[in-house]
């Protein structure tokens, strides 16, 4: 303890030890801090131990080959619950009035950040929408606008798509969520249609039998449903026959290969049956023909 001597005085003054009243004044602060920590810990524990594993399993189930999305979403879940825990802790500690008094400042700050990062936030939200969309997954073949390709990865900001030419295209998620996306091979079985033009004089019953037999001979064509053929329409001197046949869970390359094999098979079958395919157009001409002799 340090003694303090006042000028001109022979007596000394020593500072007094904290009394019971001063200690009691610290109790409300400690209690508020305890409530704040309790609220923060409870919310963070629920988020990290309950919500994050559930969200992580859902994401891993749909993006097994995309660990980037898994780690990013788990990280964002933790950040969100830390921020939520802080808000809950402040409210539980009795400082909710402070937040309500500062609501205008908080709103202004949020608006400023939102305007400055509108594009980034839009891409992040769109990425979350795509991640949790059951009809949009890694490995799907998609068409959007004038583009198409296979989805390679789904990031929180953009999606990478490999085109049929082998190019890797990075597409902003906002583009995919704002346009119509077509999945031509999205179902378990994919139907192919091939149109064959035969001569008007051919027996259509026989032609329908020939073209369906040719489809049944293609290796990748499924038996159920069986290939079917219909008379489509009548053209100028020809009759168009539409043949429907199905493939099971095809890739784009499988579709091209099956269509090529079937085209060759139906051509060979119709040729063996002497069926005229796509005959040349014939026109009747009228009038006079004048021939000049060259001397």
Domains (ranges, CATH) in the chain? 27-101 (no CATH), 133-182 (2.30.30.60), 189-272 (3.30.70.100)
Cβ–Cβ under 8 Å, residues 157 and 126 = no
What is the per-residue pLDDT for 289? 66
pLDDT by residue (tens digit) across 38-69?
A: 888 888 888 888 888 888 787 777 666 556 56
* 10, pLDDT greater than 60: no
- Residues whose CB falls within 8 Å of the CB of residue 42, separated by 6 or more in sequence, listed in order: 85, 88
Burial class of 17 by CB neighbour count within 10 A (0 to 12, 13 to 18, 19+)? exposed
Handedness of CA 279, 281, 283, 289 (dihedral sign): negative
Q: Give the pLDDT of residue 1.
A: 46
Q: Which of 67-81, 130-144, 258-272 has the lowest mean pLDDT?
A: 67-81
Q: Count the Cβ atoms, other than its own, within 10 Å of residue 106.
A: 11
Q: How far is the CA of 120 from the CAs of 77, 168, 286, in angstroms?
A: 18, 22, 72
φ/ψ of 194, rounded to 5, equals -120, 130
- Identify which has the larger pLDDT, 52 or 99: 52
Residue with the larger pLDDT of the pair 242 and 288? 242
Tell which wins on pLDDT, 37 or 76: 37
- Using an 8 Å Cβ cutoff, are 198 and 243 in contact? no
Tens of pLDDT, residues 261-292: 988 998 898 989 888 887 665 555 566 767 66
pTM score > 0.75 for this model? no
CA distances from 190 to 184, 195, 212 (A): 8, 17, 17
Mean pLDDT score, 26-38: 78
CA distance 153 to 171: 11
pLDDT over 80 at 71, yes or no? no
The per-residue pLDDT for 145 is 85
Torsions phi, psi of 9, nearest 5? -120, 145
Ranges 9-18, 154-163, 255-264: which has the least confidence: 9-18
pLDDT, residue 114, reads 59
- pLDDT, average across residues 79-93: 82
Most confident of 20-34, 89-103, 104-118, 202-216: 202-216
| Over residues 122-129, mean pLDDT | 74
In DSSP notation, 152-176 reads: EEE-SSEEEEE-TTS-EEEEEHHHH
* pLDDT > 50? residue 233: yes
Using the predicted structure, report yes or no on whether residue 4 has a pLDDT greater than 50.
Answer: no
Average pLDDT over all residues of the chain: 77
CA proximity to 179, closest of 131, 124, 142: 142
Q: Which of 79-88, 91-100, 180-189 has the lowest mean pLDDT?
A: 91-100
The pLDDT assigned to 242 comes to 92
Give the lowest-confidence range in 28-32, 195-199, 230-234, 283-287: 283-287
Residue with tokens 């879940």: 77
Q: 144 pLDDT exceeds 80?
A: yes
pLDDT confidence of residue 86:
83
Q: What are the helix (H) ranges across 102-157?
A: 103-116, 118-131
Give mean pLDDT, residues 75-89. 82
Q: Which helix (H) or strand (E) holds 53?
A: helix 52-62
């Amino acid at each position: 303890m340090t003694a303090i001597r006042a000028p001109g005085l022979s007596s000394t003054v020593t500072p007094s030890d904290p009394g019971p009243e001063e200690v009691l004044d610290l109790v409300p602060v400690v209690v508020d801090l305890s409530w704040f920590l309790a609220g923060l810990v409870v919310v963070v524990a629920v988020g990290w131990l309950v919500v994050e594993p559930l969200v992580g399993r859902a994401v891993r189930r749909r993006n097994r080959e995309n660990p980037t999305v898994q780690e990013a979403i788990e990280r964002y879940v933790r950040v969100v619950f830390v921020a939520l825990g802080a808000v809950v802790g402040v409210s539980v500690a009795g400082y909710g009035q402070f937040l309500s008094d500062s609501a205008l400042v908080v709103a202004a700050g949020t608006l400023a950040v939102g305007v400055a990062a509108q594009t980034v936030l839009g891409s992040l939200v769109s990425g979350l929408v795509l991640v949790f969309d059951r009809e949009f997954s890694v490995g799907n073949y998609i068409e959007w606008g004038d583009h198409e390709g296979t989805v390679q990865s789904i990031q929180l900001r953009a999606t990478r798509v490999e085109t049929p030419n082998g190019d890797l295209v990075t597409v902003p998620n906002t583009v995919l969520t704002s346009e119509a996306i077509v999945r031509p091979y999205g179902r378990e079985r994919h139907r192919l249609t091939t149109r064959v033009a035969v001569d008007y004089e051919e027996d259509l019953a026989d032609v329908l039998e020939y073209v369906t037999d040719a489809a049944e001979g293609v290796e990748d064509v499924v038996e159920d449903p069986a290939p079917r053929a219909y008379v489509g329409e009548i053209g100028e001197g020809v009759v168009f026959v539409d043949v429907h046949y199905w493939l099971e869970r095809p890739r784009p390359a499988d579709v091209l290969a099956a269509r090529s094999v079937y085209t060759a098979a139906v051509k060979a079958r119709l040729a063996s049956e002497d069926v005229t395919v796509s005959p040349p157009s014939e026109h009747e001409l009228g009038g006079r023909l004048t021939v000049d002799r060259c001397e």
